[in-house]
Amino acid sequence: MEKNQQDLQKGLLPRHVQFIALAGMIGTGIFKGSSDTLSIAGPSVIIAYLIGGLLLFIIMAALGEMALAFPNLNVQHLVNKAFGFQISYLVGWLYWINWIIVTVVELLAAGSFLQFWFPAIPLWLLSFLCAVVIVAINLFQVKYYGELEFWFAGIKIIALIAFILLGFLLLFGLIPSSINDPFSNYTAHGGFFPHGISGTFSAFLVVMFSYGGAELIGVAVTETKDAERVLPKIIKGAVWRVIIFYVLPILIICGMMPWDKVTGADSPFVQVFSITGLPGAAHIMNFVLLTAVLSAANSGIYATSRTLFSMSQSGVAPTRLGKLSKNGIPIIGILITSVCILVGVYLAYLTPSQVIGYLMTIPGFTVMIIWISICAAQLKLRPLYKKQPAFQVKYFPYTTIFAITLLTVIFVGFLLNVNNLIGSTVSIVIIALLIMLSFNARKKGFK
């Protein structure tokens, strides 16, 4: 890694980093995407979330191990160290594009939730206003961003805990409700596997989209105080919390209502709260959903700007993208991200009813490529450790090879699925363009 004269401020505390990673993962994927996974796989989607959680744990452990072995190197730096410029260029820009799309999706989702209260205002305008607020937040010093994100993410985590507790009380009849024999919903309406094993497999694309964001810990590590001591604890805690916040709510939704009654019009969470008959439940849940997707968008702008900064350091992007403001934030990266968000808002202006659905398919593909590259980098770099870190992947190299193999199978399976034609085509085109640009970039040297 080339030394940049400017360094990011180490203003993030352990609780900030943990909540930044959680914020990136708990957004549209669970609150809105869960209706898609349930319609694809029925109750068996729980298995897809559990397998995805296992892969998530391996990825996070590999990332944590490398971060301790090579302090102050984030994801893009580690891939550069393992495979050199070309692969680093591809992975770095792909990760940036992934988070740009995710951020746009989250902001468009925020606009759609605001339409619950302001139906007469168009989606693009509400999304634009949300974007202005989120970009402004990211212009503060990183410690203020971390603190705000901590409380931002806290709202949705508290809401999920309340949802889980209330759901179990209703399922076990401790709170009276109109639901008769809720446990029959797991096997009725076509059984636990209503669309077979293929249905469960098909749900992985949205599951990967949902879990994508965990690797933000690997981006934030360069701005974290005392990273070597706190990182293993943060990783273990983040993985278990995410699995709990995905698997348990899905279990509750499947018990509370037949899976085939879950509609895409409203979030399953809003539907379940409506069943309870609690006064104002829909408004409360809509507010929680709004803060959830704004929080995820907040994390997205953080990820995109820091990725551009790290790429400028390793020569994968022009060095001028590494310019920091007086507050120690990558100002050029944030401005470029803002322009890309405006393009996304313009797409919402053109096709308000279709844009979210189209955009949500692409990050699932890119997340799988990023995760495969993290595992491959660990396989390559493990022999180069000067000293073995205290936190390591167990049963290496078998666990890492297992993760690479399974992710590759899922990735190829989705490329061959005709239902994912638009997402797979866009992803292939993006990868092909990046490969071509990487040769040109190397020739110029980006100096």
pLDDT of residue 4: 41
- Do residues 344 and 104 touch, judged by C-beta distance below 8 A? yes
pLDDT of residue 9: 47
pTM above 0.95, yes or no: no
pLDDT of residue 402: 93
Each residue of 242-257: pLDDT tens digit? 777 788 888 888 887 7
Return the number of other C-beta atoms located less than 10 Å from residue 72's C-beta.
15
- Average pLDDT over the chain reads 77
Distance separating alpha carbons of residues 35 and 253, to the nearest angstrom: 10
- 12 has which bridge partners? 224
- Do residues 406 and 55 touch, judged by C-beta distance below 8 A? yes
pLDDT at 233 over 50: yes
Each residue of 119-160: pLDDT tens digit? 888 888 888 898 888 888 777 766 666 677 777 777 877 888
Each residue of 51-67: pLDDT tens digit? 888 888 888 888 878 87
Is residue 12 classed as helix, strand or coil in its secondary structure? strand
Distance separating alpha carbons of residues 356 and 337, to the nearest angstrom: 18
Each residue of 165-189: pLDDT tens digit? 888 887 887 776 666 676 777 777 7
Amino acid at 434: L
- Do residues 20 and 149 touch, judged by C-beta distance below 8 A? yes
Structure tokens at 346: 């313009």
pLDDT band for position 5 (cuts 50, 70, 90): very low
Each residue of 72-109: pLDDT tens digit? 677 777 888 888 888 888 888 888 888 888 888 888 88
- 218 has which bridge partners? none
Q: How far apart are the first and last CA of the chain?
A: 14
- Do residues 165 and 14 touch, judged by C-beta distance below 8 A? no
SS3 readout for 154-196:
HHHHHHHHHHHHHHHHHHCCCCCCCCCCHHHHHCCCCCCCCCH
CA angle 359, 77, 311 (to 5 degrees): 60
